[in-house]
Structure 1
Amino acid sequence: MKRGIILFLSVCLTVLIGSNVISAYGKEPEVSQDEIADKLIRFHVLANSDSEEDQALKLKVRDVVLEYASPLLKDAKDINESREILNKNNDKIINIAKSVIKENGYSYDVQAALEYENFPVKTYGNITLPSGKYEAYRILIGNAEGRNWWCVMFPPLCFVDVTKGDVSKVETEKEMKTVLTEEEYNSVDNTKSNKGKKNDIKFKFKITEVIDKVLK
């Protein structure tokens, strides 16, 4: 008798999980990395090396550059306007970075430009961007062989409490949804992408509890 009940529950479990998978695919269309990348500009600052001093210098350069760039970019109407602003101010930004480096007792060269690069999976607050090619404004300090700091420059997420190291989910969602569709945003919001997994685990645990009760 118990064996028959267990077999019945197993069949039900298989059918329900299959239905959930089909339903999930139906509700959440797959979003490609290209679709997201076309709407963003990333910002990366690469340190000369991974030494403690070079990493600290990288953050000082970041802070001063963002302090300068924030009022210029915060009201940009679209990604093209952001590109124009960055290209127009590129020499100024390089000089600002060099000044910070010199003030801190170093003589590293600085390069900066808008370019396309391949990046691994990266997380910034609740945003996780898939690996792939993105447009990025990159500042290279010295040999640029150290760890980099990054954020999203368009839409302007870099300017949300950056010096405190805090990333506001509310502000992030507001800014990202100005350029991404609901499906695209959900695909990069790591707080939402994990919900399905958690619910699936709870569902499996519940079925397991029922089977255990039957066996007892």
Structure 2
Amino acid sequence: MHAVLHKDKSMFKKIAAAIIYTVLFVFLLLNCYAEKVNRDLSDSMIRLHIVANSNSTGDQALKYRVRDAVVGYMSEKAKELKNKGNAISFIRNNIREIEQVANSVLVKEGINEYATVSFGKYPFPSKRYGNIILPAGFYDALKIEIGEAKGENWWCVMFPPLCFTEDAKGELDEEYLNILKEELSDEEMKIIINDGEKEIPVEIKFKIVEIFQESKIKLTGLFRGLLAVE
């Protein structure tokens, strides 16, 4: 009897170990998939991120005035940007001028705050832009922080230029969709195209990317918070 119980216990441990290893393997596969999709998306576009000083009515209104000034400055330039490399070069060569445009709004309004502009990789939640929807993740972005930058955000896509489209729906035209198609796989294009006709497997893939990237963003924020405390 003792031998049988020992054998059953040993078999249970093997089954449990097999299940754990399988779950870990699937988890790693899904995480690798989510990372690849986010990396490819980030490599193909640049986001625009503006953070208000606070959530007061005045600061939120100021955020939109800064947005209008910056978008107005960049709208004509955007037409000359045919790929992400062009867009990055433009940002790096003009980042101080963009900062001046943002601060000119604050000066005009008599606001005793300062806007800082930076370019880097920042976390973004899932966002819908007309005919595309981007999963949460880390993206290259031009970031404008007004004052203490503790207010609600405004997001857009600088390249391809969704911020500067004349279409009120913010839809990408065929030219810029083709630019994305050159950078992304067919599967990745299906994930981000918002045509209301997503197949269930595509929706599942989008959700996988969203869940894993949102978890990564939260963990990154947690670690940064712990480091800040230390």
TM over 0.5: yes
Question: 1: CA distance between counterparts of 2:129 and 2:152?
Answer: 15
Counterpart of 2:205 in structure 1 is: none
Question: 2: CA distance between counterparts of 1:195 and 1:79?
Answer: 27
Give the alignment partner of residue 86 of structure 2, picking from 60, 81, 84: 81
Length-normalised TM-score, structure 2: 0.65
Counterpart of 1:101 in structure 2 is: 106
Question: 2: CA distance between counterparts of 1:146 and 1:168?
Answer: 24
Counterpart of 2:160 in structure 1 is: 155
Structure 2 unaligned blocks of 5 or more: 1-32, 201-230
Counterpart of 2:151 in structure 1 is: 146
Counterpart of 1:167 in structure 2 is: 169
Matched, 1:63 2:50: no
Classify the secondary structure of the residue corresponding to 2:149: coil
Alpha-carbon deviation of 1:122?
Answer: 1.8
Alpha-carbon deviation of 1:87?
Answer: 1.1
Question: 2: CA distance between counterparts of 1:169 and 1:110?
Answer: 29
Higher normalized helix content (fraction of residues):
2
**2:129/2:171 contact within 8 Å kept:** no
Question: 1: CA distance between counterparts of 2:60 and 2:192?
Answer: 28
Alpha-carbon deviation of 1:116?
Answer: 0.5
Cα–Cα, structure 1 residues 169 and 72, in superposed 2: closer, same or farther, change >3 Å? closer
Cα–Cα, structure 1 residues 73 and 108, in superposed 2: closer, same or farther, change >3 Å? same
**2:50/2:67 contact within 8 Å kept:** yes
Cα–Cα, structure 1 residues 85 and 70, in superposed 2: closer, same or farther, change >3 Å? same
Cα–Cα, structure 1 residues 159 and 108, in superposed 2: closer, same or farther, change >3 Å? same
Give the alignment partner of residue 39 of structure 1, picking from 17, 21, 44: 44
Counterpart of 1:117 in structure 2 is: 122
Alpha-carbon deviation of 1:170?
Answer: 5.5
Alpha-carbon deviation of 1:85?
Answer: 0.6
Counterpart of 2:187 in structure 1 is: 183
Question: 2: CA distance between counterparts of 1:78 and 1:195?
Answer: 27
Cα–Cα, structure 1 residues 116 and 104, in superposed 2: closer, same or farther, change >3 Å? same
Alpha-carbon deviation of 1:190?
Answer: 2.6
Classify the secondary structure of the residue corresponding to 1:151: strand
> How far does the alpha carbon of each residue in 1:74-117 deviate from its partner, in whole angstroms, 9 at most, with x for none?
22121111111111111111111111112112121111011111
Give the alignment partner of residue 196 of structure 1, picking from 199, 202, 205: 199
Counterpart residue identity of residue 179, structure 1: L
Counterpart residue identity of residue 199, structure 2: G
Counterpart residue identity of residue 137, structure 2: G
Greater mean deviation of Cα atoms: 49-58 or 120-129: 120-129
> How far does the alpha carbon of each residue in 1:121-140 deviate from its partner, in whole angstroms, 9 at most, with x for none?
12222322111111000011
Question: 1: CA distance between counterparts of 2:172 and 2:83?
Answer: 20
Classify the secondary structure of the residue corresponding to 1:190: coil
Question: 2: CA distance between counterparts of 1:97 and 1:169?
Answer: 26
State how many pairs are aligned: 164
> How far does the alpha carbon of each residue in 1:37-80 deviate from its partner, in whole angstroms, 9 at most, with x for none?
11110001111111111111111111111111112222212111
Q: Percent identity?
A: 37
Classify the secondary structure of the residue corresponding to 2:75: helix
